[in-house]
Amino acid sequence: MEQGVTLHKILIVDDIEDIRKQLKWGLGKEYAVLLAADGTEALALFKRHQPLVVTLDLGLPPDEEGTDEGFRCLKEMLHIAPATKIVVITGNDGRANALKAVQMGAYDYYPKPVNLDELKVIISRAFHLQMIEAENRRLQHTVVDRTGENNGIIGQCPAMQQVFTTIRKVAQSDVSVMVSGESGTGKELVARAIHDMSLRKHAPFIAINCGAIPETLLESELFGHEKGSFTGAHVRVLGKVEYAHKGTLFLDEIGEIPGALQVKLLRFLQERSIQRVGGREDISVDVRIIAATNIDISKAMEEGRFREDLFYRIGVVNIELPPLRSRGEDMLLLANLFLRKFSGDFNKKVRGYSPEAEEYISAYSWPGNVRELENKVQRAVLMVSGQLIEPDDLGFASMPVNTPSLPEIMDLGTLKDARDALERDMILSAIRTQGGNIAKAADTLGVSRPTLYDLMKKHGI
């Protein structure tokens, strides 16, 4: 150990001295190991040192043949520090008790006899998850420093850090910004963050979904209309552009704007003035434009569906939002954020996710991105009956397995690419088939649990 390095604390609770010595020897180089032989000693050490991770034998004196004392310790520890990751150590016939412990809030369980290498992997992942959750809590308090207002943009992956950096850089200027990304990635949140950090933050932020308004009405929605300009126009109506005067206009799904209206929008961007439908007066408007799209704008320009000159006017700065499936640990970070939000909204005491649910969250491809994750967590908080959310609470009970066809594999390129793709899909299939149980998935694949964890890390699962 390097001088000055502080090791994370782990508490080992077991009435068998040989096991305590074995674990201290095996873990002592990586962690600050605390040892307890019974429940009273364990709780005293736990209260004094607040270890992040605990391994807990359920059969503790004076109830070595039972589980009452072990469950008492588990309950008390989680009451003191609900975020603690407790790994329950059980005998081979103790699966029912182990599952009960997980239902009560234990992080995971491991059967005796202890294989030190496998237990090390579980403990390492427990500490790793602790770090993610701690970072999540920190981000909730510091997101104001990163993006101006608490606008809900959270992430620690490199791609999102780059997004935050770009937001800070462009916010103080008035340049037009194009935000691109799949549906549900948070494009409007980025637009609001830019507005909230800008000098226009006290003026209106006006959003319009260009793809949700019929083509015949979109021009009027944007630029307004004069009385009598068309049937039903009984009074003068201001458009979104005028309402956004001195502020920010967010044009969502700008790729859906028809060609004729693209010309009028380009004229507005060039001259900074508009004419209402049916009007002849030029009206000067001071508006910053932020646009968003989930289509391939480059392809749309090649096909003549979107004007290049309009794109270069709007896309002075481009911000590309990554899909959730590529954001790694952000998936669990956001899942925990939404869990706390909805637990409060619905006044439900949900402690967290089961290990199986966490595996599903990490393995799922999230085609609906952050919006889909939020919806699934909201559903889970409503549906859950215990203190831990399980895969079926999230709606994953019948999650489809997406195995590539031969033509799709051939399109991957090299033999290595195809092998990696097939290996990844087999791992995902095994995890889903076994309900997120990594031990069973490893058996199905014919590998050890540590090997499976290594493969999951290799493929970003």
Are residues 332 and 375 in contact, defined by beta-carbon separation less than 8 angstroms? Answer: no
Of 92-106, 293-307, 351-365, the one with minimum mean pLDDT is 92-106
Give the start-to-end residue ranges of the domains of the chain. 9-135, 158-321, 329-458
Q: What pLDDT shows up at residue 142?
A: 47
Of 15-24, 197-206, 350-359, the one with minimum mean pLDDT is 350-359
Query: What fold is seen in the domain 158-321?
Result: Rossmann fold (3.40.50)
Across residues 302-321, what is the average pLDDT?
A: 92
The pTM assigned to this predicted structure is: 0.61
Tell which wins on pLDDT, 108 or 149: 108
Q: Using alpha carbons only, give the angle 153, 78, 373 rounded to the nearest 5 degrees.
A: 30
Q: What pLDDT shows up at residue 191?
A: 95
Whether residue 420 has pLDDT greater than 90:
no
How far is residue 321 from each of residues 135, 178, 338, measured CA to CA in Å?
Answer: 21, 11, 20
Residues in the chain: 461
The 10s digit of each residue's pLDDT in 205-216 is 999 998 888 877
The 10s digit of each residue's pLDDT in 422-445 is 777 788 877 776 666 777 777 777
Q: Which of 1-15, 104-118, 305-319 has the highest mean pLDDT?
A: 305-319
Task: Dihedral sign for Cα 54, 104, 338, 454, please.
Answer: positive
Q: What pLDDT shows up at residue 136?
A: 62
Question: Cα–Cα distance between 165 and 410 in angstroms, integer?
Answer: 39
Phi-psi region of 432 (alpha: psi -120 to 50; beta: other; left: phi over 0): alpha
Residue 248 token pair: 């920010």
Tell which wins on pLDDT, 329 or 249: 249
How far is residue 93 from each of residues 97, 112, 222, 281, 339, measured CA to CA in Å?
Answer: 9, 10, 69, 84, 33
Which secondary-structure segment (H or E) carries 412?
A: none
Domain 9-135 and domain 158-321, same fold? Reply is yes
Residue 381 token pair: 């908080």
| Residue 178 confidence class, pLDDT cut points 50, 70, 90 | very high
Q: What pLDDT shows up at residue 263?
A: 92
Residue 143 token pair: 């997101």
Are residues 291 and 284 in contact, defined by beta-carbon separation less than 8 angstroms? Answer: no
Average pLDDT, the chain: 83
The 10s digit of each residue's pLDDT in 316-371 is 999 999 999 888 888 888 898 899 889 888 888 888 888 788 888 888 888 889 99
Domain 9-135 CATH assignment equals 3.40.50.2300: yes
Which class is 329-458 in CATH?
A: mainly alpha
Q: What pLDDT shows up at residue 374?
A: 93
Q: What pLDDT shows up at residue 125?
A: 86
Question: Cα–Cα distance between 350 and 105 in angstroms, integer?
Answer: 10
Whether residue 149 has pLDDT greater than 60:
no
